[in-house]
Amino acid sequence: MTISATKTIQIARSAAESWDFIADANTMPQWAIHNVKAIRDLGNGRWEMDTVRGKGMLIPHYDRETGILDHEFIDANEGRWKVTGRVVPVGPRESVYMMTLPKPDGLTMEMFEAGMRLMDEELAALKTCIESRPVAAEPVQVVEAVYEGFRQRDMAKVFGLLAADVEIVQSDELPWGGVYRGHEGAREFFGRLRSYVGSTVTIERMISAADHVAAVGWTEGTVNVTGAAFRVPIVHLWEVRAGKAVGAQFCIDHPTMLQALAA
């Protein structure tokens, strides 16, 4: 029979906030205080760690949608730990992190039990780290701040509000349309948009639905090549998690916009 231990900790933050912190491997030295002294991204889904026992390796198998935080922890002395992890919501601003750790074959029972006692201390440190962070802004506040950044032409502020894996979608019927992922993709999208039109956005109202926000208004400006003016109705659909925009779908009145581009 496989010997394992399951550990849980309740955290006074949303599941999205807890997941985002734990999934950021760079935070591990802050809370994995008995195991990880430093960590480096090697690419290809692998992280090299400096541990108290020598070099180690972290191989994440994470999924934001389901809260999965499964990972492999390869220790210089203790062997390969195959850890099952989850973050689950227990309220709008509370979550539970749970992890099951099967004992590696080469590890004695005494060493395994000692490691589990240290794990309790690390989970307490994790709880403190997450709960000491500022509470994430509400989704509507985040979206409002994005538009304020656009208005001020402060793209550093805008990108500070976009998640690293943000996805931007606009119909490919428009010359700048397509699917753009990550900050590099977002820069490409905004650059292509500006290469065709000079425009500003006015939002008349926002509709909030949990992690989603619909921004309703219009965009107006001129076509760069011809100088043709346009004023086009828009609906921007945003998804926000843990104070960052993770998705945006920009919907506009295609016939009106295409007519202006063809003028």
* Architecture in CATH of 139-262: Roll (3.10)
The alpha helices in 104-181, defined as continuous H runs, are: 109-131, 139-152, 155-160
Per-position DSSP letters for 165-194, written without gaps between them: EEEEEE-TTSTT-EEEEHHHHHHHHHHHHH
95: pLDDT strictly greater than 80: yes
Class level of CATH domain 4-131: alpha beta
Q: Give the model's pLDDT for residue 78.
A: 67
State whether the Cα torsion 71-101-17-15 is positive or negative: positive
Pairing of strands 94-102, 162-170: unpaired
More confident residue, 134 or 161: 161
79: pLDDT strictly greater than 80: no
pTM for this structure? 0.60
Contact 107, 79 (CB under 8 A): yes
40, 58, 73, 122 from 36: Cα distances, Å: 11, 10, 11, 10
Q: Give the model's pLDDT for residue 135.
A: 77
Give the range with max mean pLDDT: 62-66, 119-123, 133-137: 119-123
Q: Mean pLDDT over residues 66-91, rounded? A: 88
Contact 131, 33 (CB under 8 A): no
C-alpha–C-alpha distance, residues 210 and 229, integer Å:
36
Tell me the sheet residues that pair with 205.
Answer: 216
Q: Could you tell me where in the chain the CATH 3.10.450.50 domains are found? A: 139-262
Pairing of strands 197-209, 178-181: unpaired
Angle between helices 109-131 and 15-23 (to 10 degrees): 120
Tell me the sheet residues that pair with 101.
Answer: 5
Contact 209, 234 (CB under 8 A): no
Q: Could you tell me where in the chain the CATH 3.30.530.20 domains are found? A: 4-131
91: pLDDT strictly greater than 90: no
C-alpha–C-alpha distance, residues 247 and 253, integer Å:
20
136: pLDDT strictly greater than 80: no
- CA 207, distance to chain mean position in Å, is 22
More confident residue, 16 or 184: 184
